[in-house]
Structure 1
Amino acid sequence: MKHYDYIFSGTGLAALMTLNQMVKSGGFSDKKILLLDQDAKQTNDRTWCFWETGKGAWDKILTQKWRYVWFKNENSSRKMDLSPYEYKMIRGIDFYNKILKRIALQSNIEFVQCRVTGYSESAGNVVVQTDADDFSCRKLFNSVYDQKPVLEQTGFPLLQQHFVGWRVKTETPSFDPNVATFMDFSVPQKGNTRFMYVLPVSDTEAIVEYTLFSKDLLPQHEYEAAITAYLSDLHIANYKIVEKERGSIPMTSYRFWKHNTKNIVHIGSAGGWTKASTGFTFKNSDKLSKRLVHFLQRQADFSKFHKNDRFWFYDLLLLDILSENNEKGAMIFSAMFRKSHPALILKFLDGETTLYEDLQVIWQCPKGLFIRALVRRIFR
């Protein structure tokens, strides 16, 4: 059985970001590292969006960025200037190529394409089982999401951010490449929280995505019917579908970190790295991967890798509300964006506001809903 210092089970966003930070730090070049994944990461399987101020580490692989975005609901629309933030988009394949190219230059890193079937820990080592072979290591970074423990508990609600996106190309100019549609709640809600994204990369090409925050997924044809109807409402009839993507991201405040051990750390969706209230993953993974590598350079006990804060509790209250009243999402987000400065909301969603700034945002939300959720949570 081949032995390594570190094994990554799964090579998604969180794993590759963490590995990238390890390489950049220069502190792990003498360590044997193994990546395990059944996917070779050679296709564009997803798109990530995030916001940040000024130039960023990922700017060279951006597909597009926007300073202005639309927020819409059935009663109104607001074109928002995000300054000093910009809303940025990265295609999965461009991210994979960037990181895998860097990894290929490291003689201490190996990649094996296989399916991880399990792992076990004993005597200070971890053994990872795959459909190809077994491997052992001192430390395991696991990003293979197991929903079983989340489903078996009742203390923390579980929703899904699930979506289908089409990259469409039109015959005539149909989009404004300078303005993205951040959330459009004008689509029929049907008892859920449902909205559209429109992410234009030119005046004839855009990603149009139908997204829900709810417990249950839809049949494929329902997502696609909603996108078709939305394009029709935009008076876009002549287009071709260049690419399709589909995904489902767990939204929960479940305490994933309780499953960490001295030698095993759960990352990505498996570690609760997804922003529970919005499903945004890229920025959170960027922050947490840096924190994890810094932590690893200082100590070796993964069971101590966790930092809880008040934003975790804010997310929990929102998910409590949406779990009981899933149709309230449009009202909550509309209230938040109606009057507040967009930059303040984005800063809040990133968990970077002061307590005073928190209160400015929270004050705009439907107070009765959150007070009742708070009372229920306290006396749960």
Structure 2
Amino acid sequence: MKQYDYIFTGSGLSALMTVSKMILSQKFQTKSILLLDENAKETNDRTWCFWDQKETLWEPSISKKWDSVLFANADFKRNLELHPYQYNKIQGLDFYNQLLELIANQKNIDFVQEKVLAIEESESIVLVKTESQSYSCSQVFNSIYNPSLVTNQSKYPLLQQHFAGWFIKTEKPIFNPEQATFMDFSVAQKGNTRFMYVLPTSETEALLEYTLFSKDLLSKEEYETEIENYIQKLGIQNYKIVEKEFGNIPMTCYPFWKHNTQNVINIGTAGGWTKASTGFTFKNSDQKSTELVSFLETQTDFRKFHKKTKFWWYDLLLLDILDQKNETGAAIFSALFHNGNSPLILKFLDEKTSFWEDLQVIWKCPKGLFINALLRRLFRF
């Protein structure tokens, strides 16, 4: 049985970010590291977007940047100037290639394509079992999501950010490649929170995603019918579908960190690193992975890593509202973006605002919904 200092079970976004920052810190060169994943990360299986004010570690993977985005609903449209931020698009395969190339050049890191079956912790070691063998280590970073932790409880609501996307190429110029559509709530809501998301990369090419924040998934046909309807609404007649993607991101404030032990930490979606109120994963994982690597340089007890903040409470109130009244999502986001300060809203979603700045953002939202949600939540605790 081979022994390592650290084992990563799963090699998705959060694991690759954390390992890359461990490499760049140059403080873990004497540590042996193993990444285990049944997926070789050789396909373009997803698209990530995030905003930032500066160049980041992920610059080689960014395929498109926008300085402006569009917000719309059935009643209004607003162009949101993002300065000093830019909205960035990364395709999954570009990200995997960038980080796996970095990892492949490290003599102290192994990547093994095997499915993880179990993690067993004792006083002295942690054992990781795969379909073919077992590995031992001092500490484990687990990013394999266990949905039963959330579905088997009722204290914290669970919604899904689920979507279908088509990369299309049109015969005639139709898109504005200098502006992404952040949220378009003009589509029929049908008792849910539903919007279109458009990422144009040229006048004839774009990713169109039909997205919901709701409890239940749709049939594949319903997602695609709505994308077809939106394409017709844009006046597009002739186009071809280049690629498709489907996704489902859990949105919950469930305290995953309570399952961390001294030597096993849950990261990524499995650790609650997804921004609960929006489903944004990339930026949150970027911030959390930086914090985790810094933590590792001075501490070893993973139970001490997580810190609950005011933003956890803000997210919880929004999820409580959408759990009870899912159809109110369009009104909440529309109130926020109708005349709100766009850069301040992005700063708020990045969890970087002061309490005074929080109030400037929150005050734009429907107050009655949030007051009632707060009162209900106080009684649940």
Which range, TM-score by smaller chain? over 0.9
Q: Deviations over 1:36-64 (max 9, x none)?
A: 10100011000000111132322232111
Contact 1:4–1:137 (CA under 8 A) maintained in structure 2: yes
Alignment match, 2:341: 341
The 2-side partners of 1:379 and 1:121 are apart by: 37
Identity %: 61
Alignment match, 1:78: 78
Residues 205-216 of structure 1: pairs in structure 2 closer than 5 A: 205-216=205-216
What's the CA shift for 1:3?
1.1
The 1-side partners of 2:129 and 2:59 are apart by: 37
Residues 291-330 of structure 1: pairs in structure 2 closer than 5 A: 291-330=291-330
The 1-side partners of 2:156 and 2:209 are apart by: 28
Residues 110-189 of structure 1: pairs in structure 2 closer than 5 A: 110-189=110-189
Q: Deviations over 1:127-174 (max 9, x none)?
A: 111112111111000000001111111110000101111111111111
Q: Deviations over 1:208-263 (max 9, x none)?
A: 00110011111111111111110010011211111111111110001010000000
Q: Secondary structure at the match of 2:316?
A: helix
Contact 1:124–1:263 (CA under 8 A) maintained in structure 2: no
The 2-side partners of 1:56 and 1:10 are apart by: 24
Q: Secondary structure at the match of 1:275?
A: coil
Residues 7-26 of structure 1: pairs in structure 2 closer than 5 A: 7-26=7-26
The 1-side partners of 2:128 and 2:60 are apart by: 35
Matched, 1:194 2:194: yes
The 1-side partners of 2:341 and 2:26 are apart by: 41
Query: Which structure 2 residue ranges, 5 or more long, are not aligned?
Result: none
Q: Look up the equivalent residue of 1:195 and give its one-letter code.
A: F
The 2-side partners of 1:80 and 1:294 are apart by: 35
Larger mean Cα displacement after TM superposition, 265-274 or 53-62: 53-62
What's the CA shift for 1:31?
1.2
The 1-side partners of 2:161 and 2:73 are apart by: 19
Alignment match, 1:284: 284
Q: Secondary structure at the match of 1:95?
A: helix
The 2-side partners of 1:133 and 1:260 are apart by: 24
The 2-side partners of 1:346 and 1:164 are apart by: 24
Contact 2:60–2:98 (CA under 8 A) maintained in structure 1: no
Which portions of structure 1, spanning 4 or more consecutive aligned residues, are displaced by more than 6 angstroms?
A: none
The 2-side partners of 1:299 and 1:56 are apart by: 26
Alignment match, 1:271: 271
Contact 1:68–1:81 (CA under 8 A) maintained in structure 2: yes
Query: Which structure 1 residue ranges, 5 or more long, are not aligned?
Result: none
Number of paired residues?
A: 380
Q: Please, what is the CA RMSD of the aligned residues?
A: 0.8
The 1-side partners of 2:235 and 2:54 are apart by: 35
Q: Secondary structure at the match of 1:98?
A: helix
Q: TM-score, normalised by structure 1?
A: 0.99
Alignment match, 1:249: 249
Q: TM-score, normalised by structure 2?
A: 0.99
Q: Secondary structure at the match of 1:63?
A: strand
The 1-side partners of 2:25 and 2:59 are apart by: 20
The 2-side partners of 1:5 and 1:57 are apart by: 25
Alignment match, 1:37: 37
Q: Secondary structure at the match of 1:286?
A: helix
Residues 199-238 of structure 1: pairs in structure 2 closer than 5 A: 199-238=199-238
